[in-house]
Chain A
Amino acid sequence: MILALEYHRSPGRFIAARSLTATKLGGRMSGMIAGNVSPLRLINRQAPELPGEGWTRVTPRLSGICGSDLGLLTGRSSPYLSPMTSMPFVPGHEVVGETQDDLPGMPKGTRVVMDPVLSCVARGTPECRWCASGHQSRCDHITTGRISAGLQTGSCADTGGGWSRQFVAHASQLHAVPDELPDERAVLAEPLACAVHSVRRVKVAPGSTAVIIGAGTVGLLTLLALRELTEVGAVYVVAKHGHQQEKAKALGATAVIEPRKAIRALRRVTAARMHTPEIGGDFLLGGVDVAFECTGGSSGLDTSLRLVRAGGTVVVSGMPNGGVDLTPLWYRELELVGAYCSGADGADFADAIRLAGTAPLDGYVGTTYPLARWREAINHAADAGRLGTVKVAFDPAR
């Protein structure tokens, strides 16, 4: 038996959480609502069984709370994803842990981080065109094979997830962690790999301008990846909280802008023209070359579409929720690019592990909680920006 946080099917609780967090006041109290209304429960359950060859049990040392997890718990995530989950499941896909079984080239006890995508190799199905070409995050087979549906570890009933004391992972998902990389940095490898992937999803021309909407974990790590892996010129970061602004500057932001000033400030630095529609927010004619939407909110995406120059690109890095006016996409002939998890056949993850060791990421994982204090952890994560935290994680062994 293991201790685990389990998410179970409860349309009533999902809708209740969604309704409550839809209001302005509810939005501010989303952490409390998630902790009390969402269908998450702390249970002792059977440890997941190994599905077959090439799998190992993993005991998490740290397991992060991601924005997509919060989206699920607050009812804001899209029902589109529901066929790609299997209930009940244990959330948690940002993990640093230790393997409990020997794998080829990876002895038992290896400290690992995990690419959570459950692709064809893990499922034991013939490789789809995407897995065959190294784009496992686009796998077409995530609802079939020897394990139940689940787009990644943390949404599959058979594998368990990071918010527990044990789960199972396939060798293809695991990456050994160098000894010198502490757990607090290693747990950032997965979101960092996503950031690396999102930057690689578009061609960032040398000297081009970029804006990052949001300076939570995804936004800050996207900034890091942009600076490390491209020859981007000016990078502007739209950040709400003071500590985010400081961290963005430390990672090389050209300027950090408060959200309410974003359009005006970017108009000025890009010498664009600003216009105010009769209804809706201001927009630019001119603007930045590429925008990375890292909030997962509809207003962030809406702002991105209004900030990008004609023919520019908007990369959706945060898991989106809510609708936006796509008129700028049509009128300004923008490119709208999705970026999900990591890719490049593991190269993104390798770069992420390297960057996690060298980048100034000390203090990003500020607080860890035992599973028993999960309500406080969720509450803290939902308010992380305001509370001066970048990443909140569970320490399941405590």
Chain B
Amino acid sequence: MSRPGFVLDVDERTPPLLMHQGEGFRLERLPLGAKVIYPPDSLPGIRNVDAAIRHALLNPHGTEPLPELLTPGMRLTIVFDDLSLPLPQMQTPDVRQRIIEQVLEMAAAKGVDDVELIAGNALHRRMTPAELRRTVGDRVFQAFFPEHLKNHDAEDHDNLLHMGKTKHGEDVEINRRAAESDLIVYVNITLTAMSGGSKSVSVGLASYKSLKHHHNVHTLRHSNSFNDPPNSAMHHSYDRMKGVIDDHVKVFTVETTVNNNTFPSSMGFLNKREWEWNVRDQASYVAVKRANELLPAKTRRRIWQSTAAPYGVTGVHAGEQSEVHPLTLENVHRQQLTEVNGQSDVAIYGLPYVCPYNVNSVMNPILVMSLGLGYFFNLYKNKPIVRQGGVAIFYHPVPNEFHPVHHPSYIDFFEEILTESTDPVLLETKYEEQFANDPWYIQLYRNSYAYHGVHPFYMWYWGAHALEHLGDVIFVGGNRKTTSRMGFRSATTLADALEMAKDTVGSSPSITYQHAPPLTLADVR
């Protein structure tokens, strides 16, 4: 049995603690009395994943076994989570491949010929053929690509279907092929509590017209947190949309969860608690850190991006989404949830090299903001780990770098829009539509490998709750230009950052460090 998560009180015997910092990491000695939130130890993975998948498909929750839903002549659409999940990408074979292969075998056995596979990438960039191949495996890729294995295109208006509106007036518009199918099989990996469930179809296959109803400042500010679905206005919207979708099309959900084996054995020390490092771990730390610092920047990035996690699969559940997702969330909580007593004045987060939107790409400043003030800040239930008006200290170099192919609208957003204001409401009101409907961004989203024009706005909104909650934001090691452009401050060292935070939280603040990755969800009481 793996050990549960816990909160460490830093004392004289506590060794320096590992802190991720973009494409690097360091050991940092925290002030005495600081609290450190650790996740539970990595759960054991399922030994026979294929058998677990088969069991799930044949023994679903709240619906008939999958083979009974498959009939000759039907239209079957298999939708799968795109490359934004999991993070880092998992070692092959990807669990999505394993599920899709079994679903296809069952469909073939039932004489189903009309099968399409769609990556549920919403407004994310298209997956390249190589990325699709890695996700679904060689066999499926060769049999289906390109005619029957595609990326969802949220700007292909002929192939979108407006299904109606929710009782709150929210448009529900999704991929037409999926909407007009007899059955959608959605293949999911739930890495954090925000993913999966009603989000899968209503977001993964949606258009801007539909997404804007929940990807907005108001909703994000009332999602406290978006990793706590019952308290997330965003998830309430997903649930309403799911209701409309369920009236039109049957969805058979297959949800999986993974454990916290985030880094391969060569960097195994990153998965362990620092005081438990053995001599080999300590040597690995020194060697990997030194090598990492000596590498040319491009090589370093390539190595980090090609790092695949040896995740174990901790759960496979299939069937009706409303019955499946609670089981999935239970697994996520089992792996990530740690109880924390009370909030602190200062929260510290070490931001790693990858977020959902820079897989095989560059983590630009907007994505750093989204990762820090969006994803990491919102890794809580009940209350943030930092009090209202407190200070968040992030570790990241925030380099002034953008991927010109993947993030063209991010460049304009950073260079032109943020120079005018960093207020999410103002940006949303004044510029969102302009970026969303810009024909060039749309062209690049559809034909190149660019995120949709509106995507940087969503990233900024992702941090809207934190921006409202926090009194100050400081990046240790952050580029001064990029951090100040975003309205934040940068410090050279933690001591400097705490000195800077004095104005907001005084000279003896309580401090909590949320130790991640591997991911930790703080249940703050």
Contact surface of A with B, Cβ cutoff 8 Å: 261, 264-265, 267-268, 271-274
Contact = CB atoms under 8 A, between A and B. Distances in A.
Nearest to B431: A268
Nearest to A265: B416
B439 A273 contact: yes
Interface residues of B, number: 9
Central interface residue in A264, A267, A268, A273, by most chain B CB within 10 Å: A268
18 contacts: A261-B415, A261-B416, A264-B412, A264-B415, A264-B416, A265-B415, A268-B412, A268-B416, A268-B434, A268-B438, A271-B438, A271-B439, A271-B440, A272-B440, A273-B439, A273-B440, A273-B443, A274-B440
Classify the secondary structure of A's interface with B: helix
Contacts of A274: 440
Contacts of B308: none
Contacts of B439: 271, 273
Contacts of A267: 440
B140 interface: no
A272 B408 CA distance: 13
Contacts of B412: 264-265, 268
A365 B94 CA distance: 70
A134 to B, nearest CB: 44
Nearest to A257: B416
A265 to B, nearest CB: 6
B411 interface: yes
Nearest to B420: A255
Nearest to A267: B440
A265 B416 CA distance: 7
A273 B443 CA distance: 9
Interface of B: 411-412, 415-416, 434, 438-440, 443
A157 B462 CA distance: 70
A267 B416 CA distance: 12
B113 to A, nearest CB: 40
Contacts of B411: 264
Contacts of A265: 412, 415-416
Contacts of B415: 261, 264-265
A273 B440 CA distance: 5
Contacts of A271: 438-440
Contacts of A264: 411-412, 415-416
The 6 A-B residue pairs whose C-beta atoms are closest, nearest first, are A273-B440, A268-B412, A261-B415, A265-B416, A264-B412, A271-B439
A53 to B, nearest CB: 60
Contacts of B434: 268
B440 to A, nearest CB: 4
Given A261-B415, A268-B416, A271-B438, 6 more contacts: A264-B412, A264-B416, A265-B416, A268-B412, A268-B434, A271-B440
A261 B415 CA distance: 8
B361 to A, nearest CB: 18
Contacts of B438: 268, 271
A273 B447 CA distance: 13
A353 to B, nearest CB: 37
A59 B510 CA distance: 76
B406 to A, nearest CB: 15
A101 to B, nearest CB: 56
B413 to A, nearest CB: 10
A263 to B, nearest CB: 11
A301 to B, nearest CB: 24
A264 B444 CA distance: 14
A280 to B, nearest CB: 16
Nearest to B435: A268
B93 to A, nearest CB: 38
B517 to A, nearest CB: 34
Nearest to A284: B440
B427 to A, nearest CB: 14
A264 B416 CA distance: 9
A350 to B, nearest CB: 40
A175 to B, nearest CB: 42
A264 B415 CA distance: 9
Nearest to B453: A268
A10 B438 CA distance: 55
A261 B402 CA distance: 14
A272 B442 CA distance: 11
Nearest to A268: B412
A102 to B, nearest CB: 58
A264 B440 CA distance: 11
Contacts of B443: 273
Nearest to B434: A268
A261 B434 CA distance: 18
B76 to A, nearest CB: 38
A274 B438 CA distance: 12
B444 to A, nearest CB: 9
B200 to A, nearest CB: 33
B8 to A, nearest CB: 47
A12 B415 CA distance: 45
A265 B411 CA distance: 10
B420 to A, nearest CB: 10
Nearest to B437: A271
Nearest to B404: A276
A264 B414 CA distance: 12
B248 to A, nearest CB: 34
A273 B416 CA distance: 17
A268 B409 CA distance: 9
Nearest to A285: B440
A146 B439 CA distance: 61
A7 B221 CA distance: 69
A261 B440 CA distance: 17
A311 to B, nearest CB: 19
A32 to B, nearest CB: 31
A265 B443 CA distance: 17
Nearest to B438: A271
A272 B440 CA distance: 6
Nearest to B409: A268
A209 to B, nearest CB: 15
A265 B409 CA distance: 11
A273 B445 CA distance: 13
A267 B443 CA distance: 13
Contacts of A272: 440
Contacts of A268: 412, 416, 434, 438
A74 B411 CA distance: 37
Name the residue in B411, B416, B440, B443 with the highest tally of chain A Cβ atoms < 10 Å from its Cβ: B440
Nearest to B440: A273
A261 B438 CA distance: 18
Nearest to A276: B404
A268 B416 CA distance: 10
A265 B414 CA distance: 11
A230 to B, nearest CB: 26
A190 B273 CA distance: 76
A135 to B, nearest CB: 41
A31 to B, nearest CB: 29
A232 to B, nearest CB: 21
B443 to A, nearest CB: 6
A264 B438 CA distance: 13
A273 B450 CA distance: 14
